[in-house]
Amino acid sequence: MNINQQVEILMQGTEYGDEGLRKTMETELRQRLLETEQEGRKLRIYCGYDPRTADLHIGHTVTMRKLRQFQDLGHEVVFLIGTYTSLIGDPSDKDKLRPQLTQEETLENARSYAEQAYRVLDRSKTIIRYNHEWLASLSFADLIKLGSNFTIQQFLTREAFRKRWDGDEAIYLHEFFYAIMQGYDAYALHTDIQVGGTDQLFNIITAGRKIMTSLGEKPNIGIIMSILPGTDGVIKMSKSLGNHIPLNSTPEDMYGKVMSVPDSAMGQYARLVTRWLPAEVAAFETGLKSGNMHPRDAKMKLAHEITATYYSESAADQAQTAFVRQFQQGQIPEEMPEYSLQPDQTVLEVLLAAGLVASKSEGRRMLEQKGVRLDGDLLEKHDAVFPHPGVLQVGKRRFVRVR
């Protein structure tokens, strides 16, 4: 694969918010690829992950998919666990102070995080590092030297900090350290390229490149990825908002959730979480736009590809068959979890105990939205005694056989 083809693949799904910056990064990427080819070495690429939770969704894997593309092209990938940056928590996309984790909590989450990452990355080609290896040994003098590269104004003009400043909410000094620590990660790893989401633009382009230059290293190139919207097609995918597609779920659940994504977001999903090359993505989007591909058929193709990416082709085939039987032919699943009804349980209590909703508030909301049925009949009162055994359904994809 020639340099231009590599650049096309590696820039797929990127977003810089500024065309001039995008062109600069693309030009630097092409030049660095040429240099390494002439030198007979591989590019070194990294992305850092703060394991503040043990549960991942496919939105977390957008950057991992980009790392995998670098691996497939023969380059060296470092998967960095933010054991030290997690102690602060990235404030980039937050309008309030993030709670601090202990290093023990971070390490425990990191183990689960890395294992889930191997659903995307090639385990045999992935280097795992932890940033406490170098950040823990920095002295106060080191911090002064690093901090002298920045002004307070640079931080306060960032949107998240500006909102808090304008709202007269506290901004803590240690939150400014995060970008500096991340910039030092790039220097310590001697990387050519750093991958991150648009919320990392300041940390990568401003902080990382400035620190590397000040310490005598060639600045790394930022590959800035778009943020994947949730199943609502609009807001950033988030477990707390309930618009996420869990990585540790089932093929049937993943397939069904992708099928619920609005048509308008299909292009973003194709670019960010499939294995498709630029030509395949372009053909997919052209087919949709021209009307040559029916939106339903396009979404089924997309759902199959995403499910196969994280599970297998056979698992995706089975998930698609189950979806067609359940939704297009109006049948309930052949297999489903079972729950033993307890005396005098209310509808809401059964929903919670059977694991069909995550909280009482979600249960009430689904009932109010007429999203709960028992043997096809609508249930509406959360405090009513559960009527009788049968097939309990929440939304379009969650079923439990109540006995």
Residue 15: give its domain's CATH number.
3.40.50.620
Residues 363, 303 share a domain: no
Q: What is the DSSP string of 12-49?
A: TTB--S-HHHHHHHHHHHHHHHHHHHHHT---EEEEEE
Q: Are residues 292 and 177 in the same domain?
A: no
Q: Does residue 234 form part of some domain?
A: no
Residue 100 has pLDDT above 70, yes or no: no
Q: Which of 27-31, 60-64, 94-98, 107-111 has the lowest mean pLDDT?
A: 94-98
Query: Do residue 347 and residue 311 come from a single domain?
Result: no
Task: Examine residue 243 and state whether it is found in any structural domain, yes or no.
Answer: no
Residue 93: predicted pLDDT: 46
Write down the pLDDT at residue 216.
94
CATH number, residue 310: 1.10.240.10
14, 108: one domain: yes
Highest mean pLDDT among 98-107, 152-161, 355-364: 355-364
Whether 35 is in a domain gets the answer yes
Most confident among 87-96, 139-148, 325-334 (mean pLDDT): 139-148
Statement: residue 375 has pLDDT above 90: no
pLDDT band per the 50, 70, 90 thresholds, residue 5 = very high
Other Cβ atoms within 10 Å of 363 Cβ, number: 22
- What is the mean predicted confidence (pLDDT) over 147-152? 90
Domain assignment of residue 120, given as a range: 3-225
Does 64 lie in the same domain as 28?
yes
Q: In terms of domains, do 281 and 322 share one? A: yes
The pLDDT tens digits for 290-340 are 988 898 899 999 999 999 999 999 999 999 998 888 776 666 777 789 999
Residue that terminates a domain, selected from 328, 348, 371: 328
Claim to verify: residue 290 and residue 198 sit in the same structural domain: no
Structural domain count, the chain: 3
Amino acid at 206: T
Give the tens place of pLDDT for each residue, 118-130. Answer: 989 999 999 999 9
Average pLDDT over residues 189-203: 94
**Mean pLDDT value of segment 188-217:** 94
**Residues 301 and 360 both lie in one domain:** no
Question: Which stretches does DSSP call E strand in 1-159?
Answer: 44-49, 76-81, 126-130
Residues 156/165, Cβ–Cβ less than 8 Å: yes
Question: 328, 348, 374: which is the final residue of a domain?
Answer: 328
Q: Is residue 102 situated within a structural domain?
A: yes
Q: Is residue 237 in some structural domain? A: no
Mean pLDDT of 170-189: 90
Residues 310 and 343 in one domain: no
- Do 28 and 119 lie in one domain? The reply is yes
Residue 231 counted as domain residue: no
Residue type, 302: L
User: Band of the pLDDT at 84, cuts 50, 70, 90?
Assistant: confident
Within a domain: 208: yes
Partners of 79 in the beta sheet? 47, 128
Residue after which a domain boundary falls, among 207, 225, 243: 225
Residue that the structure tokens 């992935």 belong to:
126
- 317 in the same domain as 195: no
Longest CA pairwise span in the chain (Å): 75
Residue 236 located in a structural domain: no
Enter the tokens of residue 116: 């889930």
- Three-state secondary structure call for residue 362: helix
Q: Tell me the per-residue pLDDT of 256-271, one tens digit each, with 9 for 90 and over.
A: 999 989 999 999 999 9
Q: For residue 307, what are the CA distances in angstroms to 261, 274, 314?
A: 14, 9, 10
Task: Examine the pLDDT at 91 and tell me if it is beyond 70.
Answer: no
Cα-trace Rg, the chain: 24
Q: What is the CATH number of the domain that holds 371?
A: 3.10.290.10
Burial class of residue 73 (count of CB atoms within 10 Å of its CB; 0-12, 13-18, 19+): middle
Average model confidence (pLDDT) for the chain? 89
CA distance 92 to 89: 9
Q: In what order do the strands lie in the sheet with 377-378?
A: 338-339, 398-402, 390-394, 372-374, 377-378
* Whether residue 267 sits in one domain with residue 349: no
Q: For residue 170, which amino acid is it? A: A
